[in-house]
Amino acid sequence: MFAGPSLNPFMAQGHDRWVQVRAAIAAALNGDVPRQAVHSAADVTLHLPFEVADYVDFYASEHHAANLGRLFRPDNPDPLMPNWKHLPVGYHGRSASVVVSGTDIIRPLRAAQGPERPGARLRTVGTPRHRGRTRLRGGHRQHAR
């Protein structure tokens, strides 16, 4: 099971199995670990541990949510939706954007709707002021018990 291309089959076994495997690994690491089993972090290749089918992302940062609110509702004096501080606000994420740390990715500059064409479709645009912006993300996969 652990020699496969992903840990999805292991994850499908559920919480009780995860606890068993974690305990077995901890016990093995508390004993004598064979020298050939120890590797420098610089010498190993990271892999995506599971196949991402779909996910929901949440606006966890008030600053980030306010910035998006200003983009999507530029005429609204309060960029945050009224429920933002009371309910988690989520949106559908793209599974293709989940990659191993250190993977080079190409991001679109930004999408905007010009004032000259109200109601027009969003288009990708960019200015020097928007280039190089990054966003810190934290990943967490939660399973119901």
Q: Which residues are catalytic?
A: 64
Helices (H), 1-145: 8-11, 15-30, 62-72
Other CB atoms within a 10 A radius of the CB of residue 103 amount to 9
Q: What's the distance, Cα to Cα, between the start and end of the chain in Å?
A: 22
CB atoms under 10 Å from CB of 46, counted, come to: 10
For the record, the structure tokens of 100 come out as: 């191993």
Amino acid identity, residue 117? R
Dihedral sign for Cα atoms in the order 123, 83, 88, 53:
negative
